[in-house]
Amino acid sequence: MLKALFRKQLLELVGQNLLYDRRKGTTRSRGGIALFAVLYVFLFGWFAFMFGSVSYALCPQLVGAGLDWLYFAIMALLAVALGVFGSVFNTYTALYRSKDNDLLLSMPIPPSKILFVRLSGVALLSFLFVALVFLPAVFVYNRIVGVSFPALLFQILLVFPLSAAATALTCLLGWVVALVAVRVKNKTAVTVVLTLAFIGVYYYIYGTAYRILASILANTEKVSRAFRSWLFPLYAAGQGAVGKTIYFLLAVLIAAAAFALTWYILSRTYLRITTDNRGAAKAVYHEKRAKVSGVSTALLKRELRHFTSSSVYMLNCGLGIVFMLLAPIAGLIKMGALRNGIGMLFSSSESRNLLPLILCGVICLLSTMIDVTAPSVSLEGRSIWLVQSLPVLPQSVLSAKLRMHLLFAWIPTVIDVLVFCFIAGTTIPQALLVLAACCAYVLFSAEAGLALNLLMPNLTWMNEAYPVKQSAPVAIILFGSWFFLGALAALYFALSGILSVDLYLLLVAVLLLAASLLLYGWLMKSGAKRFAELG
């Protein structure tokens, strides 16, 4: 029974995109699967490189002080933190809000087993995130210190208990969200508020990470003592990683116990939470005069309603809106410090010239966190027949998706550009150039997300977390944007002898607008045709 359930779960996680072409209704060719695999390897490689760099900064100093175990303990802490952060947003939905809940609960399967399989889906995601941090740390350590056995084996195997610990933590957080959500009317709002609070705490810690790291390096004795007494599981993991068998076994045991305890606690309430709808008081309809809208507004309203009714969609694709609106407020509060910092960093006239370019890059980078269009076609799901059977052009439907993205991304972009250009003291023409380049970039990324989703749709998901969080279009648009912006920066340095920053910004804006125009043409012709044939 468990094997069949695991196979179903794996098919949901991996098969939907990797093995099956939903648009053609056929299995992907080997070439297609290989292409997808290469893409994911590339993305994971990039993440691994980033965390490898952190390891390189930390490893020599701690190893030099004879605190090899502390290096592994810190990296284990980072790995578990990323594992929790990476999967916590969809844990509640994945555990409790799957569309096949009724089907599975109606079968002779104990709810605890259904939960176990759901947990495995979360665990797989946690495993990926933990591995992305911890394996590069292992690689860096063995490069610097040299390979020794059984330490290397323990180091690699530690990924499993660390993933189990991350899964236990993320599931407990998801459980708390579920316990609250089941008692209130507006589940979406509660989920969003709780998750935003969690993100706030996370980013506070992230924001002070440098101070924390510096303090760790300056107070290794104290930190070691703290790990030993307050974070014993991580201490055990660190000692296990340097080859101490007993500590390795202890770390495995603690993680297994945490996972088992989580499963036990959650399985006691699983059926009740999944089927309970206490908070949902029955709303009674009172006739009101209908507000009549045109087709275009009705389609935009439909998109907005979908967005605001889904916590997964809002948190994963619209988090950038919050950041982009908070950033200028924080910038204005800390204006003095920011201006001092800018004055110090960009003291020469040469470096000061680069300021508009850097501002543009940072704002574009922030805007990549708004990827509303990337899962929007997949989110039509099984109800896609509706817009296909109504007298609306597929172009109008796609256009509504684009307009929603631009509505969410352009307004904060304009605010960010105006505030940060004011703080940085750029000239008005420079600010206008930054604004043009940023807005053109937002337009291009909105269209690119929509195009990618039309090329790689998934309409048969079991819960919205799959198209929103685990689909190729979202991954490509998110990480691809970083590469794209990196390439634009590199292009500036290649052309810096010929073009000034102002001219380069103008060139970028024009090129992005031209590309957007071409992409828009594709969306309205081939894209619309694809949309009409989906389902």
The least distance separating other proteins from the CB of residue 381, rounded to whole angstroms, comes to 7
**Angle formed by the axes of helices 428-455 and 472-495, nearest 10°:** 140
Query: Does 174 contact other proteins by CB under 8 A?
Result: no
CA–CA distances in Å: residue 118 to residues 92, 96, 110? 11, 9, 13
The residue written with tokens 């284990």 in the block is 76
Taking a C-beta distance cutoff of 8 angstroms, is the pair 161, 252 a contact?
yes
Q: Given the rule CB under 8 A, which of 203-211, 260-268, 299-307, 317-325 is the region that contacts other proteins? A: 299-307
H and E: helices and strands count for the chain: 26, 2
Strands (E), 232-367: none
Among 386, 490, 510, 514, which residue interacts with other proteins (rule: CB under 8 A)? 386
Query: Does 46 contact other proteins by CB under 8 A?
Result: no
Q: Is 21 helix (H, G, I), strand (E, B) or coil?
A: strand
Among 301, 419, 479, 484, which residue interacts with other proteins (rule: CB under 8 A)? 301
Query: Does 228 contact other proteins by CB under 8 A?
Result: no
Query: Does 113 contact other proteins by CB under 8 A?
Result: no
Query: Does 297 contact other proteins by CB under 8 A?
Result: yes
Q: CB-wise, 142 or 388, nearer to other proteins?
A: 388
Three-state secondary structure along 450-469?
HHHHHHCCCCCCCCCHHHHH
Q: Which helix (H) or strand (E) holds 291?
A: none
Q: Given the rule CB under 8 A, which of 8-16, 116-124, 286-294, 482-490 is the region that contacts other proteins? A: 286-294
Among 149, 389, 493, 497, which residue interacts with other proteins (rule: CB under 8 A)? 389
How many amino acids of this chain bind other proteins (CB under 8 A)? 40
Q: CB-wise, 29 or 500, nearer to other proteins?
A: 29
Q: CB-wise, 77 or 459, nearer to other proteins?
A: 459
Interface positions, 307-346, toward other proteins (CB under 8 A) = 309-310
Among 27, 330, 521, 533, which residue interacts with other proteins (rule: CB under 8 A)? 533
Between CA 153 and CA 398 the distance in angstroms is 51
Q: Hey, which residues does 53 pair with through a beta bridge?
A: none
Among 146, 210, 289, 336, which residue interacts with other proteins (rule: CB under 8 A)? 289
Query: Does 403 contact other proteins by CB under 8 A?
Result: no
Three-state secondary structure along 193-242?
HHHHHHHHHHHHHHHCHHHHHHHHHHCHHHHHHHHHHHCHHHHHHHHHHC
- Please tell me what DSSP assigns to residue 165: H
Q: In 3-state terms, the chain is what percent helix, strand and coil (to 5)?
A: 80, 0, 20
Residues of this chain that bind other proteins (CB under 8 A): 25-26, 277, 280, 282-287, 289-295, 297-299, 301-302, 305-306, 309-310, 381-383, 385-386, 388-393, 532-533, 535
